[in-house]
Amino acid sequence: MSSVHGKSQRNGEGSLPMTPISATDAAGQPLAADAPFFIVMNAGSGRQQADATRAVLERELGAAGRHFEMRVVDDPRQLESVAREAASAAAAQDGVLVGAGGDGTLCTVAHAALDAGCPFAVLPRGTFNYFSRDHGIPADLDESTRLLLDARAYPVQVGFVNERMFIVNASLGLYPRLLEDRETYKRQFGRSRLVALWSALSTMLKPHRHLRLHLEHEGSTTEVSSSTLFVGNNRLQMEQIGMPEEARALEQGLLAAIAPRPVGRLMHLWLSLHGAAGRLSDSDHVVSFTFERIVVTHPSKKRRLVKIATDGEITRLRMPLEFRVSDKPLLLLKPEPAVAQANRS
């Protein structure tokens, strides 16, 4: 690590957010004019990108006379510890913790900001950038860097599965396998959306098993059989796959769960194409519901380890799995709502 200075079943819709947002929060919280920035970047995307990011920071922030520190993480295993060190420094100096990277990197850095109680900002450097795009943060590095200088901090919702945070989505079953296969393809053929799509189609045509899960929600238990359980926390992603009601529910302080009914491989592929075309809600083979908190167990009640994907990162967690909305929001530097909406369109 180096450091540089300078049709669906829905429950619970209409519920209020767990953490009320005051009028001041809704208008955004201004930062001190001299608030320092602590940037954490995962160098997994390449040293060339890290050097380009550093050059823009020195040009834009340096010209404005703003202090910043950039910490480039060479070993992904150190990302969490480096992020927490930077968050501690940001909190102590009334500064801002900034994540530079894709959604997985941003989630790790954002978790450190949430725990430290300091504002969080984003420099999008990933392939899909769902989190930044959903909040209207420009993909252009120069523009997103300039945004740091005059943006306000707005409260945004994050989710948890057990003690692991997610800002875009979390899942178990087939979806984590899709992500693992995608990384294998990317290592062979490079990072692009076309490679990601080809990998997903290849995985869908392989044999896969269905999960039997018990979902405890608002005092009742439902058994679900599905290849995957997908929990979304990103309005843009929900809209893109054709789940507009679930997208709106996210603005009411809820998470959205999607589970395809037990179907064969070809129907799974058909559902995926429906999602890619933004028509998933048209299918009778998908169950969805919204919630603040659910607990997922296995019928055997064993505390088994299961593979979980959170914002593209794979880990293993022990059942039962508790999916929930965080009881406190993340303070995110982003454009004012009207500008964010225009950037998102």
For the stretch 32-60, pLDDT in tens is 999 999 999 998 755 788 899 999 999 99
Tell me: pLDDT of 317 over 60: yes
Q: What are phi and psi of 268, to 5 degrees?
A: -60, -45
Tell me: pLDDT of 8 over 50: no
228 lies in some domain: yes
92 lies in some domain: yes
199 lies in some domain: yes
pLDDT of residue 24: 41
* Residue 304: pLDDT band with limits 50, 70, 90: confident
Tell me the residue range of the domain where 223 lies: 168-325
Residues linked to residue 229 through DSSP beta bridges, in sequence order: 172
* Structure token digits, residue 244: 């507009």
Amino acid identity of residue 24, one-letter, is: T
C-alpha distance from residue 176 to each of 36, 238, 291 (Å): 37, 18, 22
Separation CA 81–CA 70 (nearest Å): 15
Tell me: pLDDT of 13 over 50: no
Q: Are 83 and 289 in contact (CB under 8 A)?
A: no
Q: Based on the fold, state whether residues 145 and 181 are members of the same structural domain.
A: no
44 lies in some domain: yes
Separation CA 132–CA 340 (nearest Å): 10
Q: Based on the fold, state whether residues 179 and 70 are members of the same structural domain.
A: no
CATH number at residue 180: 2.60.200.40
Separation CA 95–CA 69 (nearest Å): 11
Count of C-beta atoms within a 10 Å radius of residue 38? 27
* Of residues 12, 40, 48, the one with CA closest to residue 325: 12
* Nearby residues of 43 by Cβ (< 8 Å), 6 or more positions away: 49, 50, 72, 73, 74
pLDDT tens-digit readout, 133-172: 999 999 999 999 999 999 999 999 999 999 999 999 999 9
pLDDT of residue 169: 95
**How much is the average pLDDT of 260-283?**
55
* Structure token digits, residue 210: 């269905």
Angle value at C-alpha 299, between 293 and 305, nearest 5 degrees: 75
Q: Based on the fold, state whether residues 20 and 131 are members of the same structural domain.
A: yes
Q: What is the DSSP track for 224-252?
A: EEESEEEEE--HHHHHHTT-HHHHHHHTT
Q: Based on the fold, state whether residues 174 and 314 are members of the same structural domain.
A: yes
* Nearby residues of 178 by Cβ (< 8 Å), 6 or more positions away: 199, 200, 203, 204
pLDDT of residue 22: 40
* Residue 127: pLDDT band with limits 50, 70, 90: confident
67 or 173: which carries more pLDDT confidence?
Answer: 67
Q: Based on the fold, state whether residues 120 and 207 are members of the same structural domain.
A: no
Q: Based on the fold, state whether residues 299 and 181 are members of the same structural domain.
A: yes
Least confident residue range of 155-159, 269-273, 303-307:
269-273
Q: Based on the fold, state whether residues 321 and 334 are members of the same structural domain.
A: no
pLDDT of residue 6: 41
Q: Based on the fold, state whether residues 149 and 257 are members of the same structural domain.
A: no
11 lies in some domain: no
CATH number at residue 145: 3.40.50.10330
How many folded domains does the chain comprise? 2
Q: Based on the fold, state whether residues 116 and 61 are members of the same structural domain.
A: yes
Q: Based on the fold, state whether residues 102 and 123 are members of the same structural domain.
A: yes
144 lies in some domain: yes
